[in-house]
């Protein structure tokens, strides 16, 4: 079974631009979560989607948004990029909602904002 | 709300020596507990998880952890480490409710040397 895939793997953007990251979950998984990883703040939860609905949201500004499609693929968008948005963005998928379901992480998208 | 404290940011150890990585958590509700490992330029891989039942949990690659409710701890141990265990290790919690949101600790860098 293929793992979680994220595209692109690396991205360089300029301040003020916007960016869209993509995540394809493991086949059959309906829940997709996004995390931001930075050296200063560590791993922080962005949001979770299930059946095309946002179920949970972390403490990030409205510039960060996401969506999930009917095939469970998910995208996250960051508008008006700031230098502090430089990070590794990780996507995780799980079979269903609930803390007991194992989350499988993708390799991440490394975003650099200059 | 939950929080996770990993007391050691770095743990140097010689190959074939035992190691313990410490994790303490705080939560007002029941939680599930996890240990993840992250190798350079990769996503997170689940080592083990505690959902319920036996407080001693065995995971992959020879790792095990013990859940101690009274001390709110979930320390990770391995009796004999290998060079290949060099990586970043993250302790995480999630609530036992419907949310899959993981709250991570700041990570412990395990450095194994000859």
A 37-96 → B contacts, CB under 8 A:
42-45, 48, 55-56, 58, 90, 92, 94
Sheet strands (E) in B23-101: 24-27, 31-38, 44-50, 56-58, 64-68, 73-78, 87-95
Which of A38, A40, A43, A60 is the best residue to mutate to test the B interface, defined by the most B CB atoms within 10 Å of its own CB?
A43
Q: Over chain B (114 residues), what is each successive 10-residue block's mean pLDDT?
A: 94 98 93 94 92 93 96 97 97 83 95 96
Q: Report chain A's mean pLDDT, rounded to a whole number.
A: 95
Helix (H) or strand (E) holding A20: strand A19-24
**Does the pLDDT of residue A98 top 90, yes or no?**
no
Whether B1 has its CB under 8 Å from any CB of chain A: the answer is no
Cβ contacts of B64 within 8 Å, gap of 6 or more: B48, B56, B57, B58, B76, B77, B78
Q: What pLDDT is stored for residue B1 in this prediction?
A: 82
Whether B37 has its CB under 8 Å from any CB of chain A: the answer is no
Q: What pLDDT is stored for residue A100 in this prediction?
A: 78
Per residue in A28-56, pLDDT (tens digit) is 999 999 999 999 899 999 999 999 999 98
List chain B residues with CB under 8 Å of A66: none
Distance from CA of B15 to the nearest CA of A (A): 27
Reference B22, options B94, B74, B85; nearest CA is B74
b/e B16-33 (16+ beta carbons within 10 angstroms → b)? eeebebbbbbebeeebbb
Distance from CA of A68 to the nearest CA of B (A): 16
Averaged over A76-102, what is the pLDDT?
92
Structure tokens belonging to residue B7? 């007391």
């Amino acid at each position: 079974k293929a793992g979680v895939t994220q595209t692109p793997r690396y991205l360089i953007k300029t301040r003020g631009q916007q960016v869209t990251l993509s995540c394809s979950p493991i086949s059959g998984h309906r829940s997709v979560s996004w995390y931001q990883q930075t050296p200063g703040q560590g791993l922080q939860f962005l949001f979770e989607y299930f059946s095309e609905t946002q179920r949970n949201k972390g403490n990030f500004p409205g510039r960060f948004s996401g969506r999930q499609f009917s095939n469970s693929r998910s995208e996250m968008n960051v508008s008006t990029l700031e230098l502090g948005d430089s990070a590794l963005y990780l996507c995780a998928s799980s079979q269903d909602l609930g803390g007991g379901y194992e989350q499988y992480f993708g390799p991440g998208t490394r975003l650099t904002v200059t | 709300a939950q929080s996770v404290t990993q007391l050691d940011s770095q743990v140097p150890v010689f190959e074939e020596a035992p190691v313990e990585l410490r994790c303490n958590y705080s939560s007002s509700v029941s939680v599930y507990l996890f240990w993840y490992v992250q190798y350079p330029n990769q996503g997170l891989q689940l080592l083990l998880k505690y959902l319920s039942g036996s407080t001693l949990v065995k995971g992959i690659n020879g790792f095990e952890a013990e859940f101690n409710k009274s001390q709110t701890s979930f320390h990770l141990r391995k009796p004999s480490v290998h060079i290949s265990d060099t990586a970043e290790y993250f302790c995480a919690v999630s609530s036992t409710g419907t949310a899959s949101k993981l709250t991570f600790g700041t990570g412990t860098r395990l450095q194994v040397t000859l």
